Amino acid sequence: MPTKKTVNKPEAEEAPAKKAAAPKAEKAPVEKKAAPKKTAAEKKPAAEKKAAPKAAAKTAAEPAEVKTVKKPAARKAPAKEAAAEKPVRKTAKKETVKAAPVEEAAQESAAEQAAPVVEQAAPAVEQAAPAVEQAAPAVEPAEEVQLPQPRRSVAFIGSECYPFVKTGGLGDVMYALPKALIKQNCDVKVILPRYRCIPQKYQDKMVYRGEFWMNLCSDGRSFYVGIMEYVWDGVVYDFIDNEDFFGYGNPYTNLIDDIPRYCFFAKAALAALNYMNWVPDIIHCHDWQAALVPVYLRTLFNGTSVASAKTVFTIHNLRFQGVYNIATIKYWTGLPDHVFSYEVMKQGRDDANMLKGGLTYADRITTVSATYAGEIQTPFYGDGLDGHLRYHSDRLRGIVNGIDVEQWDSSADKRLAACYNRETVLEQKRANKRALQEALGLEVDEGKFVIGLISRLTDQKGLDLVNAILPALVDGNTQVAVLGTGDAQYEESFRNFEQTFKGSVCAYIAYDESLAHRIYAGADALLVPSLFEPCGLTQLIAMRYGTVPVVRETGGLKDTVQPFNEFTNEGNGFTFDRYEAGLLLDAINRAKTLYFTQRERWDEMVRRDMDKDVSWDSSAVQYRNLYLELKP
Ligand code: ADP
C-alpha cells in the first residue's frame, strides 16, 4: 500500500468549522452539518502529520498544488495484479450499505475485452499503469476509419455513470455519450466519485493512479483525494476516492451529506486533472453535483494549468439545484465572497445555489432537448432560475439525448425471452409478452393490450394523472405493468391498484434493470405522461424495442415522439398537450383503438419506431461542434 504525506491539520480546526458551517435551523440539524465527520486527515497518526508541516499554512487558493506521494513503481501489470495494490479504503462507516441502484448484470460488450485506445498526456509523475483490459492479439488489420479532425480532449465530470452507479437518465448519458464522442475523435476521461456501492467486480478492476491531500474548507481543512482508474471501451474512468464522503450509502442521501460531498468532488476533480497533468480542451460538467467545477475553475484554480480548459455545463434536470445556506457552502467550498452575490450563486435572502454558479461561469450551457431549453426560460419550468437563464440565454442551447444502441438492442438482448429485429418483431413480441405476463402474475393472454410504465415514482412523472385514470383503463382487454421506486404515496397507490385489479395490474416497486428490459420488449405501449421532461430516455428505448410511446408534449418527449397522424399514417406514438388526466386517457384510448381495430397500421408504427434513429450519432456531432466552437 502506498504511503502518503499529509498536511498538518490547522490548529483549532473544529471551532471555526462549527461556526462557519452552522446551517439554517429550518434546513438541517445544526450539529450534523456543523461538526462534520472525522476526516481521514484527522485520523492520521501524529508522526505522519509531521511530514509536511508547512502545508497547513497553504490556502485553498492553491488547490492544484498537491503533495507528491511515494509512487508505486511503474508497472505494466494486468488489471488484476494492479488492483491488488490499490490502497485499502479507510475507516468504513458501520452503516449498512443499501444495495445501490446499479446494474448488477451489466452486459459486458465484446469491446470490453478488446484493447481500448488510450491516448492521454503523459502524467507528470510516475504512476501505476491504468487498468487497460488486455488486448487480444490482432488477427486482421482493422478497417481504417476516417475520424473527423482535429482531435479534442474532454473531461466529463458527473455524479453517476452506468454500469458503475445509475439512478436515472444521467447515468445513461455519462456512459453512452463518451463512447459516441470517441467515434467523433474525442479523447474522453470520465471523472466520478468512487462510491462504495459500485459493484465489487468494477472496484476490483480499478487501478491506483495516485493520491494527494487537498485544502477544501474556508479554514484550510484538508482532505485525502485518491484516484483509481479503469479503462474500458476506449474511455478512461477516474474515480475520486475518499472514504468519508463516498464510503457509505447510495449516491444521493440527503442535502446535509450531499452538499459537502459534492463541494469536495468538484474541487477534487479539478485538482486530480492538475495532478495527472491531463489538461483537456473541454471540461464538460453535468447537473448540480458538478456545477461548482466552472466556479472553482474561474476562481481558485485561476492560474493553474487546468484553467486553460473551456467549460460546458449540461442541465439534465433543473429541478435539482443544490441549494443550501451560504454559511455552509462558503465553509465547505472555501470560495471567495464575491461568488456569493446574486449575479453568481446567491438566491433568496441567505441561500447559495450551486447550479446557478455553474450556469454563471460555464462557457456554454446545454440542456437535453431544444424544447426544454426554451421551457426552462419560463417561470413554470424555470424552477426559480428562469430569469438567470434568460439572462445567459446566448450561451444556452438544447441537444437532444440519444441512447446506447448496443446496450439497448432487442436483437441481442440476453435478458429477453426472445430476441427480435424489425422483421421478427410481431411474432417475438408476443413471446416476450407472454413471458412478461407470467413473470409479473398477469393473466397470460397475448391478445391483451399491455401498457408499461418504467419510472422514478415522483411528481415529475405525471403519476397523479395515471392514478386518476387507472381504474378506467382496466377494461378486461388492458393490462398495466408498473416498474419504479420513489415517493411513498405512489408506491402505495400502485400497490393498491395491484390488489384491486389482480391479474390486470402489476406494481413492481423496485429498481430492476433486467425487468426494465423485459417490459420494454413485452409491452405494446409505454406511458410517459410527465409534468416536465428534460429529455426522457424511456420513450427512446421503447421505440427502439418496437413499443409505442404515449407521452405528454413537453421537453424532449415533444422533440422525439411525432404524434400519429391517422390521415397520413405517419408518426411514432400518441401524445397529449395540457396536463390533464382526461387528455391522457384520450391518448391511451386512441392507441387502443388503433391496436384493436387497425392492427396493420399499428404494426407499421411498431416498425417505424424500430427504424427511428435514436442513437447518439447526430447529437455527438453537435457536442463535438460545440467543443470546436470553444476550442477551434
Ligand atoms: P430520469 O432521468 O428523469 O429518471 P429518464 O427517462 O431520462 O428519466 O431515464 C430513466 C432511466 O432509468 C431509463 O434508462 C430507465 O429505463 C431507467 N429506470 C427508471 N426507473 C427504473 C426502475 N425502477 N428499474 C430499472 N430501470 C429504471
Alpha carbon dihedral 320, 324, 326, 329, in 10-degree steps, equals -80
Sheet holding 364-367, edge to edge: 207-215, 222-232, 235-241, 186-193, 152-157, 282-286, 310-315, 364-367, 396-398
| H/E run at residue 348 | none
Length of the chain, in residues: 632
Ligand 1 contact via 168 beta carbon (within 6 Å): yes
Ligand 1 contact via 484 beta carbon (within 6 Å): yes
Q: What is the pLDDT of residue 145?
A: 76
Rounded to two decimals, the pTM is 0.80
- Name 107's Cβ contacts closer than 8 Å, sequence gap at least 6: 407, 414
Rounded Cα–Cα distance for residues 622 and 588 (Å): 34
State which ligand 1 atom lies nearest to the alpha carbon of 485: 23
Distance between first and last Cα of the chain: 43
- Backbone φ and ψ for 304, nearest 5 degrees, come out as -90, 165
- What SS3 class is residue 301? coil
Ligand 1 contact via 78 beta carbon (within 6 Å): no
Rounded Cα–Cα distance for residues 451 and 69 (Å): 57
- C-alpha cell of residue 27: 434546513
Count Cβ atoms below 10 Å from residue 411 Cβ, excluding itself: 14
Q: What is the pLDDT of residue 63?
A: 41
Rounded Cα–Cα distance for residues 128 and 567 (Å): 64
Rounded Cα–Cα distance for residues 517 and 400 (Å): 22
202 Cα: distance to centroid of ligand 1 (angstroms): 22
Rounded Cα–Cα distance for residues 344 and 332 (Å): 17
Ligand 1 contact via 287 beta carbon (within 6 Å): no
Ligand 1 contact via 560 beta carbon (within 6 Å): no
167 Cα: distance to centroid of ligand 1 (angstroms): 7
**For 121-134, what is the HEC assignment?**
CCCCCCCCCCCECC
Ligand 1 contact via 485 beta carbon (within 6 Å): yes
For a pocket test of ligand 1, which of 172, 286, 413, 487 has the largest count of ligand atoms closer than 8 A to its C-beta? 172
Handedness of CA 132, 123, 266, 361 (dihedral sign): negative
Ligand 1 contact via 9 beta carbon (within 6 Å): no
State which ligand 1 atom lies nearest to the alpha carbon of 538: 6
Ligand 1 contact via 536 beta carbon (within 6 Å): yes
Rounded Cα–Cα distance for residues 465 and 344 (Å): 37
Low-confidence ranges of the chain (pLDDT < 70): 1-143
Which residue's CA is minimally distant from atom 12 of ligand 1? 168
Tell me the residue ranges of DSSP E strands in 532-623: 548-552, 574-576
What is the per-residue burial (b if ≥16 Cβ within 10 Å, else e) of 2-21?
Answer: eebbbbbbbeebeebbbebb
Rounded Cα–Cα distance for residues 157 and 266 (Å): 8
98 Cα: distance to centroid of ligand 1 (angstroms): 19
- C-alpha cell of residue 504: 390486470
Ligand 1 contact via 169 beta carbon (within 6 Å): yes
- Name 110's Cβ contacts closer than 8 Å, sequence gap at least 6: none
499 Cα: distance to centroid of ligand 1 (angstroms): 25
Count Cβ atoms below 10 Å from residue 422 Cβ, excluding itself: 15
State which ligand 1 atom lies nearest to the alpha carbon of 170: 2
Which residue's CA is minimally distant from atom 2 of ligand 1? 169
- C-alpha cell of residue 87: 490502497
CB 532 within 8 A of CB 564: no
Please name which of 506, 495, 277, 517 lies closest in space to residue 414, comparing C-alpha atoms.
517
For a pocket test of ligand 1, which of 456, 509, 539 has the largest count of ligand atoms closer than 8 A to its C-beta? 456
For a pocket test of ligand 1, which of 511, 514, 518, 616 has the largest count of ligand atoms closer than 8 A to its C-beta? 511
Q: What is the pLDDT of residue 248?
A: 84
State which ligand 1 atom lies nearest to the alpha carbon of 460: 3
- C-alpha cell of residue 382: 424555470
157 Cα: distance to centroid of ligand 1 (angstroms): 20
- What SS3 class is residue 19? helix
For a pocket test of ligand 1, which of 104, 166, 401, 454 has the largest count of ligand atoms closer than 8 A to its C-beta? 454
For a pocket test of ligand 1, which of 252, 455, 482 has the largest count of ligand atoms closer than 8 A to its C-beta? 455
Count Cβ atoms below 10 Å from residue 280 Cβ, excluding itself: 24
Ligand 1 contact via 549 beta carbon (within 6 Å): no
Rounded Cα–Cα distance for residues 34 and 178 (Å): 38
Alpha carbon dihedral 588, 590, 593, 598, in 10-degree steps, equals -120
- Name 144's Cβ contacts closer than 8 Å, sequence gap at least 6: none
Which residue's CA is minimally distant from atom 22 of ligand 1? 511
Ligand 1 contact via 513 beta carbon (within 6 Å): yes
Ligand 1 contact via 512 beta carbon (within 6 Å): yes
512 Cα: distance to centroid of ligand 1 (angstroms): 10
Alpha carbon dihedral 553, 559, 563, 565, in 10-degree steps, equals 140
Ligand 1 contact via 454 beta carbon (within 6 Å): yes
CB 485 within 8 A of CB 510: yes
Handedness of CA 356, 362, 365, 367 (dihedral sign): negative
Residue whose C-alpha cell is 400519429: 564
Ligand 1 contact via 507 beta carbon (within 6 Å): no
What is the per-residue burial (b if ≥16 Cβ within 10 Å, else e) of 339-355?
Answer: bbeeebbbbeeebbbbb
Burial of 533 (0-12, 13-18, 19+ CB in 10 A): buried
Which residue's CA is minimally distant from atom 4 of ligand 1? 168
Ligand 1 contact via 172 beta carbon (within 6 Å): yes
Sheet holding 525-528, edge to edge: 505-508, 478-486, 449-457, 525-528, 548-552, 574-576
Handedness of CA 576, 582, 584, 588 (dihedral sign): negative
Ligand 1 contact via 402 beta carbon (within 6 Å): no
- Name 154's Cβ contacts closer than 8 Å, sequence gap at least 6: 178, 181, 186, 187, 188, 189, 280, 281, 282, 283, 284, 627
Omega before 148 within 30 of 0, i.e. cis: no
Q: What is the pLDDT of residue 142?
A: 55
Which residue's CA is minimally distant from atom 20 of ligand 1? 455
Integer angstrom CA distances of residue 17 from 197, 222, 352: 29, 12, 18
DSSP letters of 168-209?
SHHHHHHHHHHHHHHTTTEEEEEEEE--TTS-HHHHTT-EEE
Ligand 1 contact via 537 beta carbon (within 6 Å): yes
Rounded Cα–Cα distance for residues 563 and 470 (Å): 22
456 Cα: distance to centroid of ligand 1 (angstroms): 6
Count Cβ atoms below 10 Å from residue 111 Cβ, excluding itself: 14
